[in-house]
Amino acid sequence: MGGDHGPSTVIPGAELALRRHPDLRFVLFGDEAVARSLLDQAPRLKQQSVFHHCELSVRMDDKPSQALRQGRYRSSMWRTLEAVKSGEADVAVSAGNTGALMAMAKFCLRTMANIERPAIAAIWPTLRGESIVLDVGATIGADAQQLIDFSVMGAAMARALFHIERPTVGLLNIGVEEVKGQDEIREAGRLLRVAETQGLDYHGFVEGDDLGKGTVDVVVTEGFTGNVALKTAEGTARQIASYLRAAMERTLLAKLGYLLAKSAFQRLRDKMDPSKVNGGVFLGLNGIVIKSHGGTDAEGIAAAIDLAYAMAKNGLRDKIERDLNGFHLRISDDVAADESEKSA
d(CA 57, CA 66): 12
Q: Is 33 near a copy of itself (CB under 8 A)?
A: no
Contact status, residue 172 vs residue 207, Cβ threshold 8 Å? yes
Helix 76-86 / helix 98-109 crossing angle, nearest 10 deg = 40
Q: Pick from 253, 341, 343, 344 the residue near a copy of itself by CB under 8 A.
A: 253
Part of the chain binding a copy of itself (CB under 8 A), chosen from 18-26, 51-59, 81-89, 255-263: 255-263
Give the binding range for a copy of itself (CB under 8 A) out of 6-14, 157-165, 169-177, 319-327: 169-177
Range 120-149, binding a copy of itself (CB under 8 A): 126-127, 137-141
CB of 247 to a copy of itself, least distance (A): 4
- Tell me if 247 contacts a copy of itself by CB under 8 A: yes
One symbol per residue from 193 to 232: x for binding a copy of itself (CB under 8 A), - otherwise; what is it? --------------xxxxxxx-------x-xxx-xxxxxx
* Contact status: 112 vs a copy of itself (CB under 8 A): no
Give, as ranges, the residues between 269 and 328 that touch a copy of itself (CB under 8 A).
Answer: 271-272
Q: Is 336 in the site for a copy of itself (CB under 8 A)?
A: no
Q: Determine, following the binding rule CB under 8 A, whether residue 258 of this chain makes contact with a copy of itself.
A: yes
3-state secondary structure at position 189:
helix
C-alpha to C-alpha distance for 306 and 89, rounded to whole angstroms:
15
Strand, coil or helix: what is 292?
A: coil
Q: Is 47 in the site for a copy of itself (CB under 8 A)?
A: no
Distance CA 115, CA 60 (A): 28
50, 113, 259, 336: which one binds a copy of itself (CB under 8 A): 259
Name which of residues 49 to 68 contact a copy of itself (CB under 8 A). Answer: 63-65
Give the chain's largest Cα–Cα span.
81
Beta strands in the chain (DSSP E): 26-30, 49-53, 91-94, 119-126, 129-134, 168-172, 201-206, 218-220, 280-283, 288-291
Distance of CA 178 to the CA centre of its chain: 33
CB of 167 to a copy of itself, least distance (A): 20
